[in-house]
Structure 1
Amino acid sequence: METTPPLADRVFETGVAMMEGLAVYLGDRLGWYRELAASGPLVPAELAARTHTHHRYALEWCEQQAAAGFLTAHDATGDGGERRYGLDAEGVAVFTDIRSTDFLAPFVRLVAASAIQLPALLEAYREGGGVSWQQLGDDARTGQADMNRPWFEQVLPGELAGAPHLHAALGRPGAAVADVGCGYGWSTIALARAYPEARVVGIDIDGPSVERARAHAADAGIENVEMVHSAGEEIEGGPYDVVFLFECLHDMPYPVEVLTAVRRSLADGGTVVVMDEAAADELTAPADLVQRALYGFSVLCCLPDSLSHPDSVGTGTVIRRDVVERYAREAGFGRVDELPIEDFGFWRFYELR
C-alpha cells in the first residue's frame, strides 16, 4: 500500500489548521466563546439566541470545534435532547480571558487580518510596495493589542522591578518616561500604574490606535499618562529619563532615524529599553515553532506593513540581535546590553546607552 509522504501529511495538516484557525476567528468575533465562558455549556440554539446569530451555523461551528478539541461536547439528556457544548478552564483562558498570558484568540485574529488582505499581498509581492497597518485594519490592531496586553499588565511590572537600576529610574518622583510605538496604550498604562510618581507619555503614529489608547487610559482612571499622535522620528515632551520601544522597532520603516530621535530626547544619564522579537541569531532550517511563528508574521504582516512606506529598510519580524545592535550604533548609541528578562513571550529586552 502506498503511504503518504511526511511532507504531504504536514501540508494537509497545515490546511486543516488554517481552516480551524479561521473558525476560531468566527467564534471570537461572533462572541460565541465569550458566551460559553459566561453561561456554561449550551445547546447550539441557545448559543445562537443569546448572541443573535443563526442556529444552523452555530450547530455546525460547535460540532467543528468539538471535533478540533477546542470545545467540550456533553451528551444529550432526555428524549429528543440536544448535545451541549462548552469550554473547560483551559479553553476559557485561551479563548476569552484578557488577563491570561495564554489568551491566544487575538493571535488568530491578527493572522486573519492578513488572510483577508491576500489579494493585496499578492500584488505587493509581485510589484513591490506593501500592505499598510491601515489596510490590515482593526482586526490587526486589536489582535496585537489584546495578545500583548496581559504580558504588559501581569508580567512587565515585576520584571522591571527585578532590574534595580531601571526600577530606581522609573520610581524617582517626577521621572519622565516615553513609550514609543504604544499602540492601544496597554504598555503605557502598565508603566504609569506601576510608577505613579512618573510622567508617562505614549507615542504612536497610528491615529485610531492613539484614540483607543486615550480611551483606555481614561477608563482605567490613570492620570499620570498622556497619549500623543506623532511619528517616532519626532519625539516631543522630553527630556526623558527612560524611553521604551515595545515590539515596534522591527515594524518601523526608518528605525535608525527613530532611535536617533529617541537618543536626542534623553536626559543626561537616560536609557532606552527596546523589547522586540527573540529571533535566533541566525537562520536554522527547519526551525522551532517560535522562529516559524516570527517568519509567519513577517511574510504576512510586518514586512508588508514596513514596505508600504517609501525607502523603508524593510526589517521584518525576524529582527536578529546583530541588527538591533547595528541600528543602535548607527543612531549614536555606544552600548547595547541584553537585560536578564526571560520567558517573556516571544520577546527579548535590550538596553541602549
Structure 2
Amino acid sequence: MREPDMQKLDELVGRLVNDIGASMSGALVVLGDQIGIFKAMADGTPRSVADLAAKTKVRERYMQEWLSAQAAAGYVTFHEETDQFSLTPEQAMIFAEENSPAFFVGAFEVVQSVWMDEPRIAEAFRTGKGVGWHEHSTCLFRGTERFFRSGYNAHLVNEWIPSLDGVEEKLKKGANVADVGCGHGASTILMAQAFPASRFTGFDYHRPSVERATAAAKDAGVANRVTFRQSAAGEYPGHDYDLVAMFDCLHDMGDPVGAGRHVKDTLARDGTWMIVEPFAHDRLKDNLNPVGRVYYGASTMICTPASLSQEVGLGLGAQAGEMKLRKVALDAGFTHFRRAAETPFNMVFEVRTQTH
C-alpha cells in the first residue's frame, strides 16, 4: 500500500469536518423548524436568548446552545455588541418563509428520513430487493413536498409552462390536466391557482399523500377544480388530457416506459407530456459536483430502491440524464422529445407524438 500524501489527507479531513458540521446543523434545522424558532426570528429583529426562549416557550439554556450552533453554521446571525441573534433577509427566505422560492428546510427533512431509514436500505443492498416510497418515514413525504414546492414556486408557472409550445395558451383558455405522481399536490395546486379556467386531477399511488393533497386543495380554495385520486402511474383513469405532467417522479417508477405508454394512450391528439426531472448530465464525470452529490445520495437511499421495489425495476436513478430519459419516451411511442427549460436543479422536457 502506498504511503499517504499528508497534505491530501489534511484536505480530506477538512472536508469531513465540514460535512460532519453540516450533518449536525441539518438536525438542528429540523429541530428549529419544528419548535418554531425560525418563524419567531422571521422579521429580522435582533433578539436576546431570553427573548427568543420566552417567545417560543423553550428553556433558555437549550436556546443558547441552538443559537450558538446555528450562528457557527452561518444559518443565523450573531450580534456581538448586543449579544443578540437575528435572521438576515436571505436567511429568513431559506429557513422561515415557507412559500419562498428559496425555502430549504424540507431538504433537511428528506435527509432526516435517510438517516432513519438506513437499516432498510442496508438490507436492500444485501438482498437486491427494493424499498418503496410508502415504506419510508413520513418525514420523507413532508420534506419532499416542502423542498420541491420552493422550486415550483420559482419556476413552474413563469418559466416551465411558457417554455412548452402552446401549453400556456391552452391552460388559460381551459384545459384538462393530469398531474401523475403528485405527492402532496403542491404542483397541482400551484397550476390550478395560476390557471382558473382549467381543471386538474392529481394521481398518486400513496393514499396518505392523496388525502393530504385533498386537504391542501381545500385550504388553497381550489377544491372545486382540483381532484386527487389514488392510482398507479400506468393505470390512472381518464383520456383526452391536454397536459400530463410528471414532476421529479419518472425516475422513481419501476416501469417508466410502461407509464409513458399509458400517458400516450390518455393524451389528447395534440396533447403534451411534461417531464420534470432532476438536473443531470449524461456522463458520470460531469455529475461529480455539489448538485450531483446531493442527487446521487438521494438516488442511492430513495429513488433507486423505489424503482427496484416495483415490477420491471428499471432503476433509472435521480441522475439518469437526458439520453436515458429520451430513450424512455421514444420506447413509449413518442416521436418528439425536447429539453424545453432547465435550472441548476431540474430539467424540463416537452414530449409529444407530433410537433405543432
TM-score for the superposition, normalised by structure 1: 0.90
Once residues 85 and 130 of structure 1 are traced to their aligned partners in structure 2, the CA distance between those partners, rounded to angstroms, is 45
1:315–1:54: structure 2 CA closer, same or farther, 3 Å change rule?
farther
State the SS of the aligned residue for 1:193: helix
In structure 2, the partner of 1:96 is 96
What letter is aligned with 2:157?
P
- The answer to whether the 8 A contact 2:205-2:231 is kept is yes
1:308 deviates by 2.9
Does residue 173 of structure 2 align to residue 168 of structure 1? no
Residue number among 21, 27, 45 corresponding to 1:22 in the alignment: 27
In structure 2, the partner of 1:190 is 190
In structure 2, the partner of 1:205 is 205
Once residues 267 and 333 of structure 1 are traced to their aligned partners in structure 2, the CA distance between those partners, rounded to angstroms, is 13
Once residues 112 and 37 of structure 1 are traced to their aligned partners in structure 2, the CA distance between those partners, rounded to angstroms, is 23
- The answer to whether the 8 A contact 2:177-2:242 is kept is yes
Gaps of 5+ in 2: 1-5
In structure 2, the partner of 1:350 is 349
State the SS of the aligned residue for 2:272: strand
CA displacement 1:210-233 (0-9 Å, x = unmatched):
111111111111122111111111
Once residues 168 and 202 of structure 1 are traced to their aligned partners in structure 2, the CA distance between those partners, rounded to angstroms, is 21
- The answer to whether the 8 A contact 1:280-1:291 is kept is no
Gaps of 5+ in 1: 78-82
1:76 deviates by 7.0
In structure 2, the partner of 1:67 is 72
What letter is aligned with 1:48?
A
In structure 2, the partner of 1:80 is none
1:38 deviates by 5.0
1:162 deviates by 4.7
In structure 2, the partner of 1:290 is 291
State the SS of the aligned residue for 2:46: coil
Once residues 302 and 249 of structure 2 are traced to their aligned partners in structure 1, the CA distance between those partners, rounded to angstroms, is 13
Which deviates the most, 15-24 or 225-234?
A: 15-24
Once residues 84 and 135 of structure 2 are traced to their aligned partners in structure 1, the CA distance between those partners, rounded to angstroms, is 39
- The answer to whether the 8 A contact 2:329-2:337 is kept is yes
CA displacement 1:265-307 (0-9 Å, x = unmatched):
0111212110111111111177222222211211122122222
1:45–1:311: structure 2 CA closer, same or farther, 3 Å change rule?
farther
In structure 2, the partner of 1:47 is 52
1:40 deviates by 3.4
1:45 deviates by 3.8
- The answer to whether the 8 A contact 1:72-1:87 is kept is yes
State the SS of the aligned residue for 1:235: coil
State the SS of the aligned residue for 1:317: coil
The size of the alignment, in residue pairs, is 344
Once residues 39 and 52 of structure 1 are traced to their aligned partners in structure 2, the CA distance between those partners, rounded to angstroms, is 19
In structure 2, the partner of 1:5 is 10
- The answer to whether the 8 A contact 1:24-1:108 is kept is yes
Once residues 76 and 134 of structure 1 are traced to their aligned partners in structure 2, the CA distance between those partners, rounded to angstroms, is 50
What letter is aligned with 1:352?
V
What letter is aligned with 1:157?
V
In structure 2, the partner of 1:233 is 234
State the SS of the aligned residue for 1:274: strand
1:121 deviates by 1.9
In structure 1, the partner of 2:38 is 33
Does residue 132 of structure 2 align to residue 127 of structure 1? no
Which deviates the most, 121-130 or 225-234?
A: 121-130
1:35–1:136: structure 2 CA closer, same or farther, 3 Å change rule?
farther
What letter is aligned with 1:21?
G
- The answer to whether the 8 A contact 1:129-1:309 is kept is no
- The answer to whether the 8 A contact 2:276-2:347 is kept is yes
Which deviates the most, 250-259 or 302-311?
A: 302-311
State the SS of the aligned residue for 1:117: helix
1:24–1:59: structure 2 CA closer, same or farther, 3 Å change rule?
same
State the SS of the aligned residue for 2:310: coil
What letter is aligned with 1:201?
T
Once residues 187 and 158 of structure 1 are traced to their aligned partners in structure 2, the CA distance between those partners, rounded to angstroms, is 13
In structure 2, the partner of 1:333 is 334
RMSD: 2.1
1:192 deviates by 1.6
1:257 deviates by 1.4
- The answer to whether the 8 A contact 2:110-2:139 is kept is yes
Instruction: Write out the 4+ residue segments of structure 1 that deviate beyond 4 Å after TM superposition.
Output: none
